[in-house]
């Protein structure tokens, strides 16, 4: 399988190596990050697949940075951890993640604010739940680079899939990131984002707009409308093959609105406004 590798000058303290795992959910694949160097060695973020050529590329890049000494995981979805155990076996280095509940293979759990040396810079873990309960972003403080995992995508949006995903928590995470001094975002999927504040604002506005569309759909459809009935009403410009994915986000919005007392569940699958406007 042909491996795509994007390399940057050593003036930029990280390298992106694209994992060979393209799919409808992961786009062209997972951006795996190799960064750091010197006496503290290199760090790998999200070794995604157990593929010999891909793992060899990670090891070779790490060797140019003093050798890989740590494997960091953003969250426990398969396209972010699929190569972690194989890389650990090759190198004998520990795996770090937010929790073993989310990443059972983790050797060490790391919480919000934990820092790692990364060459002449510092890489800090930031707990950013919402997409998943165990999600971490990693912030290269001196440079202002946020390795965002699946909180933000280079193209399109990310899926919030209950129960491990939570829409209100996700919005809180976006608002937290909005307050940070971020100069660029490197997502796990898609190209680097050079205008972080605009992108984060776009994400927040998109979710709030989608929430209004959910409320409007409940207003228009009969009481007790189900998610499969709501999805085509809301996602009018989406390929029907993507409806099952869209349904996850609709459910996440409904659960948020239910918590706020704006909608209620009727029976097993139905939904309705608590106080219809018409």
CATH number, domain of 106, equals 3.60.15.10
Please report whether residue 74 resides in a domain: yes
pTM of the predicted model as reported, rounded to 2 decimal places: 0.93
Same domain, 180 and 262: no
CATH number where 247 lies: 1.10.10.10
Same domain, 168 and 236: no
Please report whether residue 98 resides in a domain: yes
Same domain, 229 and 99: no
Q: Which domain holds residue 11?
A: 5-194
Q: Indicate the residue among 139, 163, 194 that finishes a domain.
A: 194
Same domain, 24 and 149: yes
Please report whether residue 96 resides in a domain: yes
Give the pLDDT score at 26: 81
Same domain, 236 and 167: no
Q: Indicate the residue among 194, 220, 244 that finishes a domain.
A: 194
Same domain, 36 and 126: yes
Same domain, 154 and 241: no
Same domain, 139 and 9: yes
Give the pLDDT score at 278: 58
Please report whether residue 200 resides in a domain: no
Same domain, 82 and 175: yes
> pLDDT tens digits for the chain (278 residues)?
334 444 433 446 899 999 999 988 888 999 999 999 989 999 999 999 999 999 999 999 999 999 999 999 999 999 999 999 999 999 999 999 999 999 999 999 999 999 999 999 999 999 999 999 999 999 999 999 999 999 999 999 999 999 999 999 999 999 999 999 999 999 999 999 999 999 999 999 999 999 999 999 999 999 999 999 999 999 998 899 999 999 999 999 999 999 999 999 999 999 999 987 65
Please tell me the total count of domains within the chain: 2
Please report whether residue 175 resides in a domain: yes
**What is the sign of the dihedral through the CA atoms of 93, 96, 100 and 103?**
negative
Q: Indicate the residue among 143, 162, 194 that finishes a domain.
A: 194
Please report whether residue 278 resides in a domain: no
Give the pLDDT score at 139: 98
Same domain, 105 and 239: no
């Amino acid at each position: 399988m042909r491996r795509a590798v994007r390399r940057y000058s050593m003036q930029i303290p990280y390298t992106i190596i694209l994992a060979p795992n393209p799919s409808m959910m992961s786009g062209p694949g997972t951006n795996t990050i190799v960064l750091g160097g010197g006496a503290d060695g290199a760090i790998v973020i999200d070794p995604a697949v157990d593929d010999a050529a891909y793992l060899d590329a990670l090891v070779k890049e790490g060797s140019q940075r003093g050798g890989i000494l740590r494997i960091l995981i953003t969250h426990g979805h398969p396209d972010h951890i699929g190569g972690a155990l194989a890389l650990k076996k090759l190198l004998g280095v520990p795996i770090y993640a937010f929790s073993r509940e989310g990443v059972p293979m983790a050797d060490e759990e790391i919480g919000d604010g934990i820092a790692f040396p990364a060459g002449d810079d510092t890489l800090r873990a930031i707990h950013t739940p919402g997409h998943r309960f165990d999600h971490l972003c990693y912030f290269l403080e001196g440079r202002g680079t946020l390795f965002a995992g699946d909180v933000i995508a280079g193209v399109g949006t990310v899926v919030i899939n209950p129960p491990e995903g939570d829409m209100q928590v996700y919005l809180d995470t976006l608002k937290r990131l909005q307050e940070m001094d971020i100069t660029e975002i490197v997502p796990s999927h898609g190209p680097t984002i050079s205008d972080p504040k605009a992108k984060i604002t776009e994400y927040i506005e998109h979710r709030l707009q989608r929430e209004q569309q959910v409320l409007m759909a409940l207003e228009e459809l009969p009481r007790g409308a189900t998610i499969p009935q709501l999805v085509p009403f809301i996602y009018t410009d989406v390929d029907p093959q993507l409806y099952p994915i869209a349904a996850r986000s609709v459910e996440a919005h409904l659960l948020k609105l239910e918590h706020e007392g704006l909608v209620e569940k009727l029976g097993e699958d139905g939904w309705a406004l608590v106080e219809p406007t018409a």
